[in-house]
Amino acid sequence: MSTELLKAIADSNQWWAIGPEMILGCAALGLLVLEILLPKDRHRFIPAFAVVSLFMVLVAVVINFDNIRGGDALFGGLIRLSMFGQVARIFFLFSSLLVCFLASVCLPRTRMPRIEFYHLILVVTAAMMLLTQSNHFVMFFVALETVTIGFYILVSYFRDSVLSLEAGLKFLVLGALSSAILLFGIVLIYGAVGRVEINGVVHTGFEYGTVLEFLRQHPDNFLATAGALLVIGGIAFKIGGFPFQIWIPDVYQGAPTPVTAFLAVSSKAAGFAVLLVLIEEAFAPLSAVLTPVLSLMAGATILFGNFSALTQRNDKRLMGLSGVSHAGYLLLGVVASLTVSWAVGAIWFYLFVYMLATMAAFGVMAYLGMTEDAGLELDQYHRLAKDRPFLGAVLAVSVGSLAGIPPLAGFMGKLLLFIAAFQAHLYWLLGLAIVGVILSIFYYFGWIKAAYFESAPTAGDRRPASAATVAVSWVGVATLTILTLATVLLGFYQQPLTSWLLK
């Protein structure tokens, strides 16, 4: 290699491009330093440091949103900025802020160390942000593993709870399996594509652009196709797509509530973000194979999620399994995005409104939850609307939005996905999705029914005594009110999101 080449590579290392991730990484380390430096009685201020740094980065990304338009690959082809990469950054930052809020509700109830929790949230957030900007399979895998390993720790964070440990073990075993599948897929693609020299620069089969070019010339290459399918299988584990969804109910129930919310929102969104990038920038020529595979996966995911959620009585398992069905609707959007380009915006719109509603629902669950944090039975929600009108209203709006009841924002999300599916002529999938929505009304409505219509808790299913008295701090009231109002207002007025996502 000549010095010019090295210089060119060095020039392409535009550190500002990954500034947000670096700041988060530094903040994560700073948390640990603060823990050592500050006296014990000041430790309660450390989470605030995490929240402030997340918030500052969020503000910085939003302000610079229009300055970053994407374009060339940076860092020797490892990273490429794009418009939706910025959207993803904002999504993950916002979601992590809400996870921090949930953690501030749940963690004080236990004797677990707190600082490491926020440390891990920051690291995982940074890794997710890098993941969606990755332009290279090595970058992709490293970022993904950082996320996954962070989650291994987070899921079993309550180490004196049997359920949390069990969830952690299940997640570890199945997560490792999915990583292996993913890695095998990457290796197959690399083996098929090999090394290509373009303009004197050697490109490898790790770069998305090279894979795209190769597949365009050899769309029938078996190894590369198999590799692509395996990679998609590995991602399906993250998003909970059928048949890789089997870990969800147990892990969601056992994990601490903030982690469950983190898994349900950020981890799922990261899977979709990276899936959309891969499909568009690496696997586009394979659409003849991907369309049927993803369609099957979408249909099966919708049906599995809804049917298995029908009989659930535990709120966290219900969120998990109904979350599978949401992954199914989103996969429907992914299939549509192969032919209808604006569907990507519709998927992000859906993810945003899903985040608002899911986080609000988990907020209510966090306040009502018990110390072992294994979720409540739906019967324990009886009389909630009467005893705790505020929490009841938040729950009704967020669950209604998840069910896609107009005029809440969730309905608009589904509507956009369905219009995209219509334009992509996916009539059968659309029919399945409609069946799914109707099924989902049943179990979501059952939840609202438990909170609003049932008058008295049955003797055996009383809410934990703490739930009747636990005070909702002003931060909690403000956060939940903002989430709820946003869910209602976005149902009437979508301009703030659509003007941004559907250009």
Partner 1 sequence: MNSLESQLLQLAVAIPLVAALIIAVGLPKRYSTKLAAVAFTLPALIAIWLWWKFPAGGGGQYQFLSSADTGLGAFGIHLTLGLNGIALPMFLLAAIAGLAAGLYALRSGAERLKLYLLLLLVMHGGLLGVFSSVDIFFFYFFHELALIPTFIMVGVWGGRDRNYAAMKMTIYLTVGAMLSLIGLIALYVKSDANSFDLIVLKQAIAAQGISGAVQNHLFALLMFGFSILVSLWPFHTWAPLGYGAAPSSAAMLHAGVLKKFGLYGLVQIALPLLPDGAAHWAWRLALLGGIGNILVIGFVTIAQRDLKQMIGYSSVMHMGYCFLGIAALSTAGAGGVVMLMLAHGLSVALLFLLATSIHHRTHTFDLAEMGGLAQKTPVLAAFFVAATFASIGLPGFANFWGEFTVFVAVWKMSHAMTVVAVAGAIISAVYGLRSAARVFFGSPTEPLQRVLARHPASDLDWTERLPALILLAALLFFGLYPRSISRAIDEALLRPTAVVDSTVSFHR
Residues 468/392, Cβ–Cβ less than 8 Å = no
369 versus 446: smaller Cβ distance to partner 1: 446
Residue type, 425: H
Residues 57/93, Cβ–Cβ less than 8 Å = yes
Please report, as ranges, the residues that interact with partner 1 according to CB under 8 A: 342, 393, 400, 405-407, 411-412, 416, 418-419, 422-423, 430, 434, 437-438, 441-442, 445, 448-449, 452-454, 492-499, 502
Distance CA 228, CA 222 (A): 10
Residue 137 CB, shortest distance to partner 1, in Å, is: 35
Distance CA 132, CA 275 (A): 9
Omega prior to 113 cis, within 30 of 0: no
Q: Dihedral sign, CA of 314, 318, 321, 323?
A: negative
354 versus 452: smaller Cβ distance to partner 1: 452
**Tokens 């729950």 sit at which residue?**
395
Residue 268 CB, shortest distance to partner 1, in Å, is: 24
102 versus 403: smaller Cβ distance to partner 1: 403
Residue 406 CB, shortest distance to partner 1, in Å, is: 4
Residue 59 CB, shortest distance to partner 1, in Å, is: 23
Residue 497 CB, shortest distance to partner 1, in Å, is: 7
128 versus 448: smaller Cβ distance to partner 1: 448
Looking at residue 265, the DSSP 8-state letter turns out to be I
185 versus 400: smaller Cβ distance to partner 1: 400
Point out which residues pair with 196 in neighbouring strands. 203
251 versus 437: smaller Cβ distance to partner 1: 437
Residue 41 CB, shortest distance to partner 1, in Å, is: 37
Q: Please compute, for residue 45, the number of CA atoms within 13 A of its CA located in the half-sphere on the CB side.
A: 8
Distance CA 45, CA 25 (A): 19
- Tokens describing residue 4: 């010019």
Looking at residue 204, the DSSP 8-state letter turns out to be E
158 versus 350: smaller Cβ distance to partner 1: 350
Cα-Cα-Cα-Cα dihedral of 403, 408, 412, 413, to 10°?
Answer: -50
Residue 338 CB, shortest distance to partner 1, in Å, is: 18
